[in-house]
Structure 1
Amino acid sequence: MTSALIALAAPAAVSPARLIPAALVGIALIVLLITYFKVHPFLSLTLGSLAVGAIAGLPMADTITSFTTGFGSTAAGVGTLIALGAMFGKLLADSGGADEIVDTIVGRSSPRSLPWAMAAVGALIGLPMFFEIGLVLLMPVIFLVARRSGLSLVRVGIPALAGLSVMHGLVPPHPGPLVAIDALKADLGITLALGVLVAIPTVAVAGPLFSKYAARWVDVPPPELFEAKPGAEGARRPSFPVTLATVLLPVVLMMGKALADIFAAEGNAVRTVLDFLGTPLVALLLAVIVAMFTLGGGAAMDKKAIAKSLEQSLPPIAGILLIVAAGGGFKQTLIDTGIGGLIAGWVENSGLSVLLLAWLVAVLIRLATGSATVATVTASGILAPLVVNLGTGEISLLVLAIGAGSLFFSHVNDAGFWLVKEYFGLTVGQNIKTWSVMETVISVTGLVLVLLLDLVI
């Protein structure tokens, strides 16, 4: 690995003594702009990239080229997947498919098993949807279940939030994992499979198990919000089996590709077909097309309603796309200055676990900026040179370590912190005891599971 790292070292025109200060100043500038001056992360990442290049000694023209190259490649590789994921999630919500999943699972659960059912609901809804969208969809259900069951709002809500958050941080096609996969050149199918493997026990620990204790610390009644609308119960929905099959379709296709790549010989006809169908772009595109018929048709939506749903799915993700692409530009700037290679050499000589380092870097950026996405894209850029001599499975675990770190201790600089606080009607202290601690449990549990998997992969 040493020779490969030397190849990634700083160019001769850039003094190694300037690289670490350049990285620190660039990251500090991004953090300061986002947290203190409230500058949009897109602008913050752009300005941070220019600062890194200038301090490292790169010509400004080269710095701009590095940033735009990274911006464009990330937007091309990840942007289309985020857009397709948003379309799919919007169809799932507008058709009533999300409601059908929730009502079916919750309706078949006893009061004792409700926290586990809510964790399953959160994970299923969180698989195709962004965290904020899934949270808005689940809130009426969380309140209704808490009222009807007599259980604490925290006992019912934390498992659902855990399911949503774990999917958001560890499982593609969410933006964070996708950016890390793109930056580190990880195999999406293998990362997806390992992500699900890590996600299931993580949700169990941070959801139903942790909520038992959190409910003792904080006991609040469900707010009088989201009363059922007259006639809403009679609205036509796609059936549960059809909805579930549609949600799992892209997951099955991408996992099929990963398994075919492992067990089928190259050139095998089945492998060729699965390699095509399991390509992320194709899998998500097929999922959207199928959803137009299974979800849209199942809800008796006409062509105009389906088209409107798809159209309305894109504007809300414009900011996410810009942040993700700018993160790719920042990553490329770090790589082209040689900072990543310098850090890689330091890590190799220090003997520190690459997975632990990845987690720590993501944790620090998460605590400073409050953004899981910014933490993921920045950490991925810093750690990209470390993957040179790593195996396919190890690179996927690196993605998951970064994802786990990006979820650590959500607090007052995270928009999700305030979203949960206001919906649940909690004080800041109560929200820290529940939501913030839950996020920390997810992060630490995820890291432990990643390190355990590293022993056998």
Structure 2
Amino acid sequence: MTPLLATGLTSSAIVALIVLIGWVRLNPFITLFVVSIGLAMITGMPAPAAISSFEAGMGHVLGHVAGVIAMGTMLGKILAETGGADQIALTISRIAGKKRLSWAMMVIGLLVGLPVFFEVGFVLLIPLAMILSRRNDIALTRLAFPMAAALSVTHAMVPPHPATLLACTAYHANTARTLFWGIVIGTPIAAIAGPVYTRLIVPCLGHVEPSPLEDQFTHARESKKLPSFLLSSFTLLAPVALMLGGAMADFIWSQGSWIYDLLHFLGNMDIALLVATLLSFWLLGSVCGFSRETILRFSNECLAPTATIMLLIGAGGGFGRELIDSGLSHAITDMALNVHVPLIVLAWLLALLVRVATGSATVATTTASGIVGPILATSHSVSPELLVIVTGAGSVGLSLMNDAGFWQMKEYLGMNLKQTLKSWTAIESLIAVLGLMICWPLSWFIH
């Protein structure tokens, strides 16, 4: 297959995703399934092989992330129900003071966003933003936008989020170094897209109607007895600390020693989240007086909303596998190497295109890294860690009506469609552009 034909077929598949999801309003999972199978058969793959390829890709991806999603969601649920997330946020806010609340909310978003998905982190923290907005007589949007921008940055660029970890696997990137660069690059991006841009855009939005949920959240949370800040922070940051401990073991202890093996075991992403989740059940649950039956109910009921996330992640993996097994990815790889397409730009553009098509940053990262990974394996021209971060940056650009976060922002903040496009879509696009603008020059010096 010629590179030109492969590029045309792949581009047509992405356009088909955009049309079917954005205009026809077909379910994203069904769309990814249909387009993946159709694309494989057009390239000449037999129908049984096309189906097997999709299933293999879906199973491979879910095998890596299903446990992470489940345990991360449970951890977020316990932090929400016990008030641990509120305690972290309220303590930092008291330290920051009224004039720096938007910056405090950015810091809170960066911390709380580490172990949870954007949608979960937003639900955890929006009640706090409403409480602080009412207590300090500040527009809710001034606090919610910096918080949401920080959550989006951590979701896209910083391990241990499943999509970032999958990109680390695809690019053979070092997880600890990716975490380091994700924080170094992501923090100024969150600052510009969050507090700085919020200061400019909020006056341009006009009047925003208060959300009907505001009264419920403010009354419900003000009377809750919260666990200590130290205990809440310890539980929240435990998985990150364990993962960093596993990475540091390579530099401190010799391979094969018992402590080396123990730290690597505890630093595994699944084990780290398992330990943190069990700690939250025991520590936070006992402090708040929850019974074992209540903890069980919380951990069971929070899993239902993850079904759609898992299906979309799996479908994105199936789509990427079809591109590889059909030979399209190899042909695109040859073309990119021949015409010297900057790999860092290619990864960013692919992630952005899939993001527009599916509305999911996780699917965008998974799909783009599946395409670009084989190119990196043959060229070694870019730092794998920077490639992970720039792929994540592209995956959050252009949040539109097929993005769950778009509707969360609109409904919780009481904005209309125009206000949401002007504010949230612009914030997400700013994160994407800044990610490329920072990572591309850095890639000239870091390999």
Counterpart check, 1:95 vs 2:82: yes
Distance 1:92 1:264, change over 3 A: same
RMSD: 2.4
3-state SS of paired residue (1:309):
helix
3-state SS, counterpart of residue 301 of structure 1: coil
CA contact 1:238–1:294 (8 Å) conserved in 2 = no
Q: CA deviation at 1:232?
A: 5.0
What is aligned with 2:114?
127
Letter in 1 for 2:371: I
User: Quick one: distance in 2 between partners of 1:421 and 1:249?
Assistant: 32
Aligned 8 A contact 1:77 1:182 in 2: no
Report the equivalent of 1:403. 392
- Are the structure 2 counterparts of residues 197 and 232 from structure 1 closer, same or farther at C-alpha, using a change threshold of 3 Å? closer
Q: Where in structure 2 are the equivalents of 1:108-123 lying within 5 Å?
A: 108-123=95-110
Contact 2:117 2:161 in 1 (8 A): yes
Partner of 1:303: 292
Residues 361 and 443 (structure 1), Cα distance of their counterparts in 2 relative to 1, 3 Å cut:
same
Contact preservation (8 Å) 2:347, 2:372: yes
Given candidates 194, 211, 214, the residue that maps to 1:226 is: 214
Question: Which residue does 2:446 correspond to in 1?
Answer: 456
Partner of 1:429: 418
Q: Is the 8 A contact 2:14 2:357 kept in 1?
A: no
Shift of 1:393: 8.2
Give the number of aligned pairs: 444
Q: Which of 299, 303, 315 matches 2:304?
A: 315
Q: Letter of the aligned partner of 1:88 in structure 2?
A: L
Amino acid at match of 2:355: R
Distance of 2:117 and 2:21 partners within structure 1: 21
- 1:47 maps to a residue whose letter is V
Q: Deviations over 1:116-164 (max 9, x none)?
A: 1111122222222222222223222222322332333332221111111
**Alpha-carbon separation, structure 2, partners of 1:170 and 1:274:** 24
Change (3 A) 1:150 1:265: same
Pairing 1:160-171 to 2, within 5 Å after superposition:
160-171=147-158
Determine the structure 2 residue equivalent to 1:137: 124
Which 5+ residue runs of structure 2 have no aligned equivalent?
none
Query: What pairs with 1:171-190 in structure 2 (closer than 5 Å)?
Result: 171-190=158-177
CA contact (8 A) 2:171 2:377 kept: no
Aligned mates of 2:28, 2:40 — CA distance in 1: 18
Partner of 2:197: 210
**Which amino acid in structure 2 is aligned with residue 75 of structure 1?**
L
Pairwise CA distance, 1:249: 0.8
Matched, 1:351 2:340: yes
More off after superposition, 322-331 vs 177-186: 177-186
User: Distance in 2 between the 1:211 and 1:253 partners?
Assistant: 34
The Cα shift of 1:97 comes to 0.8
- Asked if residue 193 in structure 1 is aligned to residue 183 in structure 2, the reply is no
Amino acid at match of 2:85: A
How far did residue 452 of structure 1 move? 4.2
Q: Is the CA contact 1:296–1:302 (under 8 Å) kept in the aligned structure 2? A: yes
- The match for 2:18 is 31
**Structure 1 residues 142 and 442 mapped into 2: Cα distance closer, same or farther (>3 Å)?**
same
Corresponding residue for residue 4 of structure 1: none
Answer yes or no: is the 8 Å Cα contact 2:2–2:331 preserved in 1: no
Partners of 1:432 and 1:297 lie apart in 2 by 43
Scaled by the length of structure 1, the TM-score of the pair is: 0.90
Give the alignment's TM-score, normalised by structure 2: 0.92
What is the CA-CA distance between 1:263 and the residue it aligns to?
Answer: 5.8
Judged with a 3 Å threshold, the aligned counterparts in structure 2 of structure 1 residues 446 and 268 are, in CA distance, closer, same or farther, namely farther
Structure 1 residues 204 and 327 mapped into 2: Cα distance closer, same or farther (>3 Å)? same
- Residues 1:282 and 2:260 aligned together: no
CA distance in 2, matches of 1:354, 1:434: 30
> CA 1:105 to 1:241, structure 2 compared with 1: closer, same or farther past 3 Å?
same
Q: Distance in 1 between matches of 2:267 and 2:379?
A: 23
- Counterpart pick for 1:65 among 52, 59, 63: 52
When residues 22 and 393 of structure 1 are mapped into structure 2, their CA distance, relative to the original with a 3 A threshold, is closer
Give yes or no for the alignment of 1:153 onto 2:140: yes
Read off the aligned partner of 2:239 and give its amino acid letter.
P
User: Structure 1's 229 and 115: CA in aligned 2 closer, same or farther, altered over 3 A?
Assistant: closer
Q: Please state if 1:341 is matched with 2:330.
A: yes
Structure 1 match to 2:373: 384
The answer as to whether partners of 2:390 and 2:435 remain within 8 angstroms in 1 is yes
Match of 2:408 among 414, 419, 423: 419
2:72 touches 2:116 (CA, 8 Å); kept in 1? yes
Other-structure match for 1:271: 260
Using the aligned pairs only, state the percent identity. Answer: 38
Say if 2:30 is the partner of 1:40.
Answer: no
For residue 292 of structure 1, what is the aligned residue in structure 2? 281
AA partner of residue 168 (structure 1): H
CA displacement, residues 41-83 of structure 1 (integer Å, 9 cap, x when unaligned)? 2221111211121111112222222111111111111111111
Shift, 1:95, TM fit:
1.5
**C-alpha distance in 2 between matches for 1:237 and 1:111:** 21
Counterpart CA distance in 2 for 1:452 and 1:256 is 30
Q: CA contact under 8 A between 1:169 and 1:407: conserved in structure 2?
A: yes
